[in-house]
A and B are shown apart, each in its own frame.
Chain A
């Protein structure tokens, strides 16, 4: 589309309230994690020594397509989300390409990267536990 704005921010009410689990739509699922001692699929109990229980549930769930984002995590996301979708007009012109280029920019928070999206969720479940 020619008329895309240089930067597009979703209206705040359109920030997703659920995460999407792509494994739910895969016919052939990713192979299970194996316990190195036995060579059999690793149990939730074994993983819970390392990760919070809620995160273990998410880790082992190949079937649930949507997970509600906890209210506290949604609130935190509002500090720096939505992140902008940028139309790279300057880059397109500099390259002289007929391609239309967009980028999703995750660097607008203090940590400078997308890693915060999962860090806050993992910290939330740790605190809850």
Chain B
């Protein structure tokens, strides 16, 4: 949509399992003029390597990033565009938090808790940035909660360390909460937020104790999504539904303790492209994959050695 607006050529490397699970998202992109390639593909050197080492892999964001970066640097006139993790994206997404902050002021409402779903941090960072600024400048106090999937728990079980941003190890190293660049969440995980790492800015804020995080199982997340759809009317994206689950849990805690508080959460999008995931929830076949400590230890063992 953005490329079409500025009449730019757009090539998309789409994680293979998303390419297959979300055919309509793929077709929307093609309608707006993008060419879409499932990743790992055979059209880049790193894609070929990953396919050779992991035959039949369903791909990961880390693989797709490597392929897109390789394609950008090897083709004249192309640059890499990304959806999350880096600081430039958090900057642009601050429009979400700034609008929220202004609207709440106009309504005369001061929030107590601000909740966002966390994959690479684009929505969470964008939503909380202006409010975090108030906290950092000593003007206000808020609780911030990152809601992440238990199947890809970067904040709650990751290491705060330098790691590769991509599987192909072509991108710069970033210090962040990470599960290891080779970590790939189970293919049964349908809730998005699949990135192995996290925004460096949010990682540092979390390390400073300015933010909390909760890890949520996907069946609990989809239960909240269904409840929200039936009460508020909006069909939420699975990603957004992590924030809904965390909000419901917080609101029920208020109820149990007889406490009033004001909660603001980010509803990042709609779930029309995720009906395959809803179908497995509705059919009762959705499972909760949570990586074991051994799985994570094996992944942490491959973190690059960088002096702290």
Is B one of A's binding partners?
Answer: yes
Q: Please state if A91 and B228 are interface contacts (CB–CB under 8 Å).
A: yes
Q: Please state if A126 and B79 are interface contacts (CB–CB under 8 Å).
A: yes
With both beta carbons as reference points, the residue of chain B lying nearest to A90 in the complex is identified as B231
Q: How many Å from the CB of A118 to the closest CB on chain B? A: 4
Q: CA–CA, A22 to B171, complex, Å? A: 24
Q: Please state if B28 and A22 are interface contacts (CB–CB under 8 Å).
A: no
Q: Please state if A104 and B266 are interface contacts (CB–CB under 8 Å).
A: yes
Q: How many Å from the CB of B215 to the closest CB on chain A? A: 21
Q: Please state if B88 and A118 are interface contacts (CB–CB under 8 Å).
A: yes
Number of interface residues of A (CB under 8 A): 81
| Majority secondary structure, B binding face | helix
- Please list the 8 inter-chain residue pairs (A to B) with the smallest Cβ-Cβ separation, ordered nearest first: A113-B269, A31-B175, A118-B92, A123-B2, A30-B200, A33-B172, A107-B270, A97-B251
Beyond known contacts A16-B98, A39-B306: 9 more, CB 8 A cutoff? A4-B107, A21-B129, A77-B95, A102-B262, A107-B267, A112-B237, A118-B88, A122-B2, A123-B3
Q: Please state if B262 and A103 are interface contacts (CB–CB under 8 Å).
A: no
B281 is an interface residue with CB less than 8 A from chain A: no
Most buried by A among B2, B208, B240: B2
* A123-B264 contact, Cβ under 8 Å, with A27-B136, A113-B237, A114-B269: no
Task: Out of A99, A104, A127, name the residue touching B100 (CB < 8 Å).
Answer: A104
Q: CA–CA, A29 to B248, complex, Å? A: 33
Q: Please state if A123 and B175 are interface contacts (CB–CB under 8 Å).
A: no
8 Å CB contacts to B: which residues of A48-98?
49-52, 55, 58-59, 65, 67, 69, 76-77, 81-83, 85-86, 88, 90-92, 94-98
Q: Mark B96-107, 1 if CB is under 8 A from A, else 0.
A: 111110111011
B126 is an interface residue with CB less than 8 A from chain A: yes
With both beta carbons as reference points, the residue of chain A lying nearest to B107 in the complex is identified as A4
With both beta carbons as reference points, the residue of chain B lying nearest to A76 in the complex is identified as B5
Residues of chain A within 8 A (CB-CB) of B137 are: 25
Q: Please state if A36 and B95 are interface contacts (CB–CB under 8 Å).
A: no
A residues in contact (CB < 8 Å) with B: 1, 4, 8, 10, 14-16, 19-23, 25-31, 33-36, 39, 42, 46-47, 49-52, 55, 58-59, 65, 67, 69, 76-77, 81-83, 85-86, 88, 90-92, 94-107, 109-124, 126-127, 129
Residues of chain A within 8 A (CB-CB) of B28 are: 110-111
Q: Please state if B267 and A10 are interface contacts (CB–CB under 8 Å).
A: no
Q: Please state if B1 and A103 are interface contacts (CB–CB under 8 Å).
A: no
Q: How many Å from the CB of B259 to the closest CB on chain A? A: 7
Q: CA–CA, A91 to B233, complex, Å? A: 10
Residues of chain B within 8 A (CB-CB) of A67 are: 91
Residues of chain A within 8 A (CB-CB) of B208 are: 28
8 Å CB contacts to A: which residues of B245-261?
247-248, 250-252, 254-255, 258-261
Q: CA–CA, A102 to B100, complex, Å? A: 10
Q: Please state if B107 and A106 are interface contacts (CB–CB under 8 Å).
A: no
Residues of chain A within 8 A (CB-CB) of B100 are: 85, 104
